[in-house]
């Protein structure tokens, strides 16, 4: 059995998927609050990310072993701006106590933070991925980090393209696409939602916003559009 497989099974191991993919997934569903978070709402995501997202959700105590959301996940539903960042900061402190006790996140070197992660029992390239995941979420949460930490990889913004119809024929969920890491203190997300019309054709809502600092009025309008699309999808499924 290789080290990677052992790490995948051990839920105490720090997550090591894309931080922006994970954050965007939580953002896509914290408002709608599904009664269970499972692979059936991950149809847009790469299959290799499904287990990692579920394990990360359990690592942060956002879901239970059976996938039902915890009170911590429910508490994120209506948070805005600084309150949302504070909630993520609290989650990071609880999940990574070894980085907030006898460790200076504002002055430590890349080597020092990697040593802390190795002490958690992970090895090889997983250390780099786990550190990158933490740094990405910490920046999204507005934490002050050491200038000696490596910058998370920058990606060019994806251009909006017509979404392809899922192979299963089912309407698409809100897409949690990997966005370029934002500047410190700015929470930006790039997502899209597509519906398939019963009479043929599709419509796609593409969103590129600073989620945390979106005004209440704009947030209300955005989720009203998403809810309207979801309602149409549900009606379409009922007909078919």
Q: For residue 149, what pLDDT band results from cuts at 50, 70 and 90?
A: very high
Q: Is the pLDDT of residue 70 over 90?
A: yes
Q: For 117-130, how does the pLDDT look when each residue is reduced to its tens digit (9 = 90+)?
A: 999 989 999 999 99
Q: Residue 139: CB partners within 8 Å, gap ≥ 6?
A: 145, 152, 181, 182, 184, 185
Higher pLDDT, 100 or 216: 100
Cβ(3)–Cβ(124) under 8 Å? yes
5 vs 34: CA distance, rounded Å: 29
Task: Indicate the domain borders of the chain.
Answer: 3-140, 175-239
Q: For position 21, what pLDDT does the model report? A: 95
Q: For 203-236, how does the pLDDT look when each residue is reduced to its tens digit (9 = 90+)?
A: 777 766 666 666 767 766 777 777 677 666 666 5
Q: For position 91, what pLDDT does the model report? A: 97
Cβ(136)–Cβ(181) under 8 Å? yes
Q: For residue 37, what pLDDT band results from cuts at 50, 70 and 90?
A: very high
Q: For 163-212, how does the pLDDT look when each residue is reduced to its tens digit (9 = 90+)?
A: 344 444 443 333 433 334 444 444 445 566 676 776 767 777 776 666 66
Q: For position 187, what pLDDT does the model report? A: 47
The rounded percent of the chain whose pLDDT value lies above 70 is: 65
71 vs 74: CA distance, rounded Å: 5
Q: For residue 9, what pLDDT band results from cuts at 50, 70 and 90?
A: low
**Mean pLDDT score of the chain, rounded to an integer?**
79
Query: What element of type H or E holds 209?
Result: strand 202-210
Q: CA torsion, points 174, 36, 86, 107, in degrees to nearest 10?
A: -90
């Amino acid at each position: 059995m290789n080290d990677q497989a052992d790490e995948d099974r051990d839920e105490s191991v720090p997550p090591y998927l894309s931080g922006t993919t994970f954050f965007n997934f939580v953002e896509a569903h914290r408002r709608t609050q599904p009664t269970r978070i499972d692979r059936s709402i991950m149809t847009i995501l790469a299959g290799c990310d499904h287990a990692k997202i579920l394990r990360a959700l359990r690592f942060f105590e956002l879901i239970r072993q059976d996938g039902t959301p915890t009170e911590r996940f429910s508490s994120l539903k209506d948070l805005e701006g600084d309150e949302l960042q504070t909630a993520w900061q609290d989650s990071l402190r609880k999940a990574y106590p070894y980085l907030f006790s006898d460790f200076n996140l504002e002055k430590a070197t890349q080597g020092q933070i990697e040593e802390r992660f190795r002490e958690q029992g992970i090895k090889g390239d997983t250390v780099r991925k786990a550190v990158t995941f933490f740094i990405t979420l910490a920046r999204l949460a507005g934490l002050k980090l050491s200038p000696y930490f490596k910058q998370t990889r920058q990606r060019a913004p994806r251009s909006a393209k017509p979404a392809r119809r899922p192979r299963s024929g089912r309407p698409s969920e809100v897409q949690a696409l990997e966005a370029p890491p934002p500047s410190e203190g700015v929470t930006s997300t790039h997502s899209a939602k597509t519906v398939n019309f019963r009479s043929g054709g599709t419509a796609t809502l593409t969103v590129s916003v600073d989620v945390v600092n979106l005004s209440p009025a704009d947030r209300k309008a955005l989720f009203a559009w998403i809810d309207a699309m979801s309602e149409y999808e549900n009606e379409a499924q009922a007909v078919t």
